[in-house]
Amino acid sequence: MSQRERDLSTLSFVVTGGARGIGRATVERLARRGARVAVGDLDADLAREVAAPLGPRVVAAGLDVTERGSWEAFLASTAAVGPVDVLINNAGIMPLGPVLAEPDELARRIVDVNLHGLVLGTKLVVPGMVERGRGHVVNVASAVGRVALADGATYSASKFAAVGFSEATRAELAPYGVEVSVVLPTIVRTELAAGVPATRGVRPVSADDVARVIEATVRRPRAEVWVPRYAQAVAKGSQLLPRRVQSVLAHAFRADAALSGADPAARAAYEERVRRG
């Protein structure tokens, strides 16, 4: 696709996980730019509540990203936004805890939502882009898709997989005029990261900070973008060091306890909700 900055008001978007956090901030930002937006979320009522004040160009419906039938019903019910120009695969969950204590069904759900959800979205939305010879997929992963952390083993694995899927599909789809970008936020002040302590040297960001980067990435596509941007240099620089030195630095900056040091009380409501599905 052309590298000339895109006018978002001419584009049609699908945003998954659009009723909360990064997804909601992205929907609201796109709506302010005049874009047509289909908001998908497992909580259909909340998705419609988010869309209602944003005008007729924003529509919403329930969406379970792990189910092909749910994707098909969602796309049919939001078809009024027109052929999808940009798919933002944002839906994700982050239950935390030691892997040895993690129930099998929870591990499967993490992988289903965080990986299979964006795989299904790609399979069901991108063929139309290929047919038209243009389109853009933005996969919202996480910094732990590059730097794994204790007490988030399955979550880290799912985000590493999301990064790998993004890189592979970028190569596959480029000949058809379809861009693929991956966005890697660090700690975001949303319910998903409730109780997760900040690390030294990397400030927490807001959902709108991430939405702003998503908007910029759609306007001028880039393969991989971190939020905040400087965190990429910090992470990649540390990976050039010997493992022992990496461990010392991670401890000094409290990065090694970013997830294992989360406050259980602050996370209780979120953990209960995602474990219920």
Residue 136 included in any domain: yes
Residue 1 included in any domain: no
Residue 3 included in any domain: no
What is the chain's pLDDT, residue by residue, as a tens digit (277 residues)?
446 799 999 999 999 999 999 999 999 999 999 999 999 999 999 999 999 999 999 999 999 999 999 999 999 999 999 999 999 999 999 999 999 999 999 999 999 999 999 999 999 999 999 999 999 999 999 999 999 999 999 999 999 999 999 999 999 999 999 999 999 999 999 999 999 987 866 778 999 999 999 999 999 999 999 998 878 777 777 777 787 776 766 666 567 778 999 999 999 999 999 988 7
Can you give the residue range of the structural domain that contains 71?
Answer: 8-276
Residue 187 included in any domain: yes
pTM reported for the whole predicted model: 0.92
Residue 135 included in any domain: yes
Q: Answer yes or no: 155 catalytic.
A: yes
Q: For the chain, give the secondary structure using H, E and C.
A: CCCCCCCHHHCEEEEECCCCHHHHHHHHHHHHCCCEEEEEECCHHHHHHHHHHHCCCEEEEECCCCCHHHHHHHHHHCHHHCCCCEEEECCCCCCCCCHHHCCHHHHHHHHHHHHHHHHHHHHHHHHHHHHHCCEEEEEECCHHHCCCCCCCHHHHHHHHHHHHHHHHHHHHHHHHCEEEEEEEECCECCHHHCCCCCECCECCECHHHHHHHHHHHHHCCCCEEEECCHHHHHHHHHCCCCHHHHHHHHHHCCHHHCCCCCCHHHHHHHHHHHHHC
**Catalytic pick from 155, 176, 230, 270?**
155
The number of folded domains in the chain is: 1
**Residue 237 belongs to a domain with what CATH number?**
3.40.50.720
Residue 2 included in any domain: no
